[in-house]
Amino acid sequence: MSSNSEQISKTKRVEAMFNDIAPKYDFLNHFLSLGIDRIWRRKVIRKIVNDEPTDVLDIATGTADLAIMLAKKHATVRITGVDLAENMLAVGRKKVDELNLSNRISLKQGDSLSLPFENDSFDCAMVAFGVRNYENPVKGMEETLRVLRSHGKFYVLEFSKPRRFPLAQLYRFYFRAILPLVGRMVSGHKQAYTYLPESVSAFSDGNDFILLMEKAGFLGCKFKKLSFGIATIYEGVKG
């Protein structure tokens, strides 16, 4: 199989999977993370608010949780969310409308690997729990770089792998045994919550992910582990 056809098939699989689980996504997200995802998101948002951006891109926005949190914390920022899965965006649009935020948040269907935006469109880009799903993370981040303005900041929130005993062992048990079981029972989707631990386990974290960001062209890349390394915030800047 050529790399191009592999890329199409992973993109299509991810899109179909998130379209399927969209109605249950928010509930499962907060339930399975025991609400900790909100604390992690808040930490990213705090950093972004400090930068005082005007135009922010939320890549792989899903149901727009990060975009909404930012809009609530920063009264003037405009946010564009982009995602492959229309059904995730539909849930997001409903929340945005109900919160009267549609004048500041717009959601658009699109692929992170070929973003539907002009060069230099945003002064900040963020992506939460999305990069791991790209077929080609470096290509996706090169696209992010392209649509960012000079000195624009890029923030990534992503699962990582705790390595210290006993958390590493507890986490592995929870992630591989409990989470797929509960995820399957609630969402009715056989693969989605098996895919989650598998994709985290296969994905680069810490310094390995920093190397990917640098390969894509970001400067000043650094990371901060959250909750003993269960998740990590990465940041970099366009030169």
Ligand X SMILES: C[S@@+](CC[C@H](N)C(=O)[O-])C[C@H]1O[C@@H](n2cnc3c(N)ncnc32)[C@H](O)[C@@H]1O
Sites of contact with ligand X (CB under 6 A) = 11, 14-15, 18, 29, 60-62, 65-66, 83-85, 88, 111-113, 128-130, 133-134
**Quick one: 3 or 169, whose CB is closer to ligand X?**
3
Task: Tell me how far, at minimum, the Cβ of 170 lies from ligand X, in Å.
Answer: 22
Task: Tell me how far, at minimum, the Cβ of 151 lies from ligand X, in Å.
Answer: 24
The secondary structure of 136-175 as a DSSP string is -HHHHHHHHHHHEEEEEEEEEEEE----STTHHHHHHHII
Task: Tell me how far, at minimum, the Cβ of 12 lies from ligand X, in Å.
Answer: 10
Torsion sign, CA atoms 140, 145, 148, 151: positive
Task: Tell me how far, at minimum, the Cβ of 136 lies from ligand X, in Å.
Answer: 9
**Quick one: 88 or 221, whose CB is closer to ligand X?**
88
Cβ count within 10 A of residue 98? 9
Task: Tell me how far, at minimum, the Cβ of 85 lies from ligand X, in Å.
Answer: 4
**Quick one: 29 or 51, whose CB is closer to ligand X?**
29
- Residue 152 near residue 122 (C-beta atoms within 8 A): yes
How many angstroms from the chain centroid is the CA of residue 52?
A: 21
How far is the C-alpha of 8 from the C-alpha of 160, rounded, in Å?
A: 26
Task: Tell me how far, at minimum, the Cβ of 78 lies from ligand X, in Å.
Answer: 18
**Quick one: 33 or 153, whose CB is closer to ligand X?**
33
Three-class DSSP labels, 206-233: CHHHHHHHHHHCCEEEEEEEEHHHCEEE
Cβ count within 10 A of residue 65? 23
- Nearest Cα to Cα of residue 216 among 122, 112, 133: 112
**Quick one: 84 or 96, whose CB is closer to ligand X?**
84
Query: Closest residue (Cβ) to ligand X?
Result: 62
**Quick one: 78 or 164, whose CB is closer to ligand X?**
78
- Nearest Cα to Cα of residue 232 among 40, 87, 10, 28: 40
